[in-house]
Amino acid sequence: MLKGISPLLSPDLLRAIAAMGHGDELVIGDCNFPAETMGKHCIRADGVRGTEILDAVLGLFPLDTFVEAPVTLMKVVPGTLDGDPPIWNDFRSIVDKHQKNVKFGWIDRFEFYARAENAYGTVATTEQALYACIILTKGTLL
């Protein structure tokens, strides 16, 4: 335990987000995401929700202001879900809490995988909501 640091930020996750530089990407994967095959580092967060990790990470992690959308979600594969996944509203609220005027982007499933493969790392949560994977692009402290 450290003063003012969420206990959800494991030593490995803390190390990862500190080591990342401008433009590096962190994936927060849900329970179905192939986390261990993506990115240079896979950091386990078993028993933890994606929303919880997102909130803890954004307490320290600045989102990129140099790109249009520093938060990226996976588009719903046609025919798999009616309407938007409810968890996207939760992601929106959490992001808004930490940083103002952040735009979200959406990409297809396999484009999402390609981005994730090039990411700095992936947090493997056990979030059970559908379409609950999210890519965060790291910014700078202005």
> How many residues comprise the chain?
142
Task: Tell me: does residue 129 bind its own copies (CB under 8 A).
Answer: no
Run of H or E residues at 107: strand 104-107
Judged by CB under 8 A, the number of residues near its own copies is 21
Q: Is 141 in the site for its own copies (CB under 8 A)?
A: yes
- Would you state the structure tokens that stand for residue 33, as one six-digit string? 């995401």
Q: Which of 117, 107, 38 is nearest to 72 (CA)?
A: 107
Q: Which is nearer to its own copies, 1 or 47 (CB)?
A: 1
64 annotated active-site:
yes
Q: Choose the catalytic residue: 55, 64, 120, 131.
A: 64
Distance from C-alpha of 36 to C-alpha of 30, rounded to nearest angstrom = 12
Distance of CA 85 to the CA centre of its chain: 16
Instruction: Give the nearer residue to its own copies in terms of CB position, either 12 or 90.
Output: 12
Q: Which stretch binds its own copies (CB under 8 A): 6-14, 72-80, 88-96, 109-117?
A: 6-14
* CA geometry: angle 108, 25, 89, nearest 5 deg: 60
Which residues in the 55-94 window bind its own copies by CB under 8 A?
Answer: 59-62
Distance CA(46)–CA(19), nearest Å, equals: 22
Q: Rule CB under 8 A: is residue 140 a binding residue for its own copies?
A: yes
- The residues assigned a catalytic role are 22, 64, 113
Chain residues binding its own copies by CB under 8 A are 1-5, 9-12, 14-19, 59-62, 140-141
